[in-house]
Amino acid sequence: MLTHVHYRSQKFIIDLSKPLDISIPMKASINNVNAWYLKEPIIEPVVIDNKTYTVADGASINFNNIKFNPHAHGTHTECVGHITKEKYSINNHLKQFFFLAEVITVAPENYMQDFIISKKQLQFALGNKKREALIVRTIPNTRDKLSKQYSDTNWPYFDREAMTYLVKKGIKHLLIDLPSVDKENDGGELVGHHVFWNTNGVLRLDATITEFIYVYNHIQDGKYMLNLQIAPFENDATPSKPILYKIE
């Protein structure tokens, strides 16, 4: 289904019948992707007066409770409320859901005992392109990312200059295939988050970070329309389902 899209005075054609889902499904399993030292999500039926509410157990419906942490258990989108004393809700501050996006692939650079995504790498990948959203795929890009247990792995992260560059470049929505834009154990500094949301100045209330995506290898680098779908939680973060559409 080819659709003409008018976006900020530009015209594009996308095929709505060919969505490219870059989210990671959440499941009640030890193989669910995980970080931050938490156990796996729990999805289990309600039990009332010794009656289990599943059709298999004789109930007329399946009626499950779900316990999870959006930051630890899969693809999620967060706003500045993640790092501020004031409460800011992703549901209140993400009001548009389609964005012109660029997919790039980056091999994190060795830096002392870490691996980082640097300003130079982002400059090389983006050049003069003007985008509101940036999707970063790191390599190696194996399917292990769909079930990886990230706690105590010291994953790659964005250095300060890289995040400063993205803000100056006008990137409002950053999507990455890692648990965080910041170093796993950084003493709570969260430099990348603070720079991206400009906590020392005028807060970028309409900017978001989406973590724990997975960009399959058949999705080529380049320009896409991004549909950033979120669940309407009044919280700093929510599970999300980012969908890409190739621009024809």
Residue 61 has pLDDT above 90, yes or no: yes
Residue 7 has pLDDT above 90, yes or no: no
**pLDDT tens digits, 77-130:** 999 999 999 999 999 999 999 999 999 999 999 999 999 999 999 999 999 999
Specify the pLDDT at position 139. Answer: 97
Q: How confident is the model at residue 9 (pLDDT cuts 50, 70, 90)?
A: confident
Q: How confident is the model at residue 43 (pLDDT cuts 50, 70, 90)?
A: very high
Cα angle, residue 198 at apex, residues 190 and 126 outer, rounded to 5°: 90
Question: Would you tell me which CATH number, out of the four given (3.50.30.50, 3.20.20.140, 2.30.42.10, 1.10.490.10), belongs to the domain 2-25+72-246?
Answer: 3.50.30.50
Residue 5 has pLDDT above 90, yes or no: no
The better pLDDT of the pair 3, 33 is held by: 33
Mean pLDDT (whole number) for 200-229: 98
Mean pLDDT (whole number) for 218-236: 98
Specify the pLDDT at position 217. Answer: 98
